[in-house]
A and B are shown apart, each in its own frame.
Chain A
Amino acid sequence: MTALLEIENVSKSFGGVQANKEISLEVPEGAIVGLIGPNGSGKTTLFSSIVGQYPIDGGSIRFESEEISTLRVAQIARLGMLRTFQQTRIYGQMTCMQNMVISASVRKRGFGELFHGQHDPQVSKHAEEMLEFVGLYEKRLLRAGSLSFGQQKLLEFAMALMNEPKLLMLDEPTAGINPTLINGLIDRLKRANAQFGITLFVIEHNMRVIMNLAQHIYCLAHGELLASGTPDKIRNDPNVIDAYLGAH
């Protein structure tokens, strides 16, 4: 497998706080890779740096072997790399269907195509399929803002799928989701990976979820890469256990 995303010695600090210190990792094409670490270890900062939201202080970020660390958020998204947010973000006053339709991939569309009608049958069909996939089909005509937090999270996931990214970066996909739905969500993430061929890079606090989901896990602590390896290796790594239990 070739690396879809390569991160080399990436550093980022906010004033005196070093959020990321020379982090190097890679996400192979077609894989599901996990990113764990205690609160404040710099996971979300790393995500924001990767998608172009924060300019990095040093290092290199390559997507499909192209340097992207100087590109802007929307440009990176159009290359086929999307992130979802920890604080779920959807378009609250629009219906679920409208949320989906405007999320349809802009990668293959020029600016002029924005002036095409909203009711393209192909786009609508795809949107309905994706809503069905996450279990929100019945809610498609509701205002997205009226959904519960968990449902909004599912909608955000469906919107990301609608965009047909190559790499999807999920920031805590199961946080705030009803525990009984978590298994369904894990299954859906795996299917998105296997059926739609989307590479996943997942931040997760729920150990059961990430151990089940990821093939390879990176662990951050205090802004540094602490460990990396298979779920089994990470689970038994004394450094990781120390970081979580506070012996660091």
Chain B
Amino acid sequence: MTFPPQKLIGYAALVAFGLAAPFVFPNYHSQMAELWLFVVFALTWDLVGGQMGYNSFGNVLFIGVGAYACAVAQVGLLYDISNYTASDGGDATIYVFTVPQYLTGLAIGLPFAALLAGLVAAFFGSVVLGMRGHYFAICTLGLGVAAGQIAAGWEWIGAGSGMTPPNAPRGIGDLAQFFYFFSFVLAVACFVVIRWLLSTRFGLALNAIRDDEDKAEAMGLPTTRIKVTAWTFAAVFLGLSGGILGNLKRFIDPIDVAFAGETYGVWMVLMAILGGKGTIWGPVIGAAIFQVLKEVFWTYLLGWQRVALGLMIVLIVVFFPQGILGWVREKFPEMFGHRVDRGPAREPAE
């Protein structure tokens, strides 16, 4: 990877903005933290849906697995989980976490979330990624829904009444601000890793699978392994984001937070499409615009916010199928390293 100086300045400015934002806009910590998680959702969705051409509607599976895995590790390090969930996790006088305990819980819980989500992706990936097109999409949709139902029926993790992550000790300070930085770091790491992936031969292989999987296979590429690896990369980041999400929301509902196919599951696709499928900045831009619009709808159109959002989905799909960066790429292909034919074809030298 090469970074020309003007790009480096751009990146530095963005990071500086990200670090300063919570102090500049102190009233919007949780919305901004959510924004960075949305960036992760959209980027990881696009890695598989945009770059590899496998439209997944079940990536919430990994968010949910991550959310529960992290919370279970955080609690389980100190207390019995069934007792904790039976008391609705709420009794703050019994289940106390000191600052070092809380931090240790996160330090173990988040990697555990990543690991478990990655394993789930590697396991299911080798089965569902054998399917193509619509079949893959439907199958992932089923995985997400099934996972939500299983979580909603599993007493150990609180079943339908959900699970509460540990109460943060006072020393942590503003919880939303605390997790804002987690989300921010995760989003940056996710961007860097995906940008790197796309600069390798692996990135080309993903595009090759998107353009013609049979050809890629006929050329000897180990397509199944490539697909499962890409999905696992996505799952690891989604697992981490799920761990953060549960703690940020302070409550893990099996269907509305963890395996929220209707909201996060659809939104992540929408953000990637809005910004431009198959580009690195598209999902980032899409997530930012989406989060702002969503918050505006929720604030000013309360009661009708879902109608407005639904209308927006229709408008985006009908009028912006290529997304913002997709449109830019069409207009200015040179910016993306593509060239347009200038002269007539040269006859092959005889």
Contacts and interface: CB of A to CB of B under 8 A. Distances in A.
B345 to A, nearest CB: 7
Interface of A: 51, 53, 73-74, 77-78, 82-83, 85, 89-95, 98, 101-103, 105-107, 111, 113-118, 134-135, 138-139, 141-143, 146, 148, 151, 154, 159, 163, 180-181, 183-185, 187-188
B218 A102 contact: no
A41 B300 CA distance: 69
Contact of A102 (B205, B217, B278, B345): B205
A185 B348 CA distance: 9
Contacts of A135: 346-349
A118 B200 contact: yes
B226 A114 contact: yes
Contact of B207 (A83, A98, A138): A98
B348 A141 contact: no
23 contacts: A51-B218, A74-B220, A74-B222, A77-B217, A83-B218, A91-B208, A91-B216, A94-B207, A102-B204, A102-B221, A105-B220, A106-B219, A106-B220, A114-B201, A114-B226, A116-B201, A118-B203, A139-B345, A141-B338, A143-B338, A163-B220, A181-B348, A183-B350
Interface of B: 1, 197, 199-205, 207-208, 210-212, 214-223, 225-226, 278, 333, 337-341, 343, 345-350
Contact of A115 (B201, B216, B223, B350): B201
Nearest to B220: A77
Contacts, number: 126
Given A82-B218, A118-B200, 14 more contacts: A74-B218, A83-B218, A89-B214, A90-B212, A94-B207, A95-B337, A95-B339, A102-B216, A105-B220, A118-B201, A135-B349, A151-B345, A163-B220, A181-B348
A141 B339 contact: yes
B219 A101 contact: no
B200 A89 contact: no
A116 to B, nearest CB: 6
A101 B204 contact: yes
A188 to B, nearest CB: 7
Contacts of B219: 77, 82, 102-103, 106, 159, 163
B125 to A, nearest CB: 15
Contacts of A159: 219
B337 A141 contact: yes
Contacts of A92: 211-212
A77 to B, nearest CB: 3
A98 B346 CA distance: 20
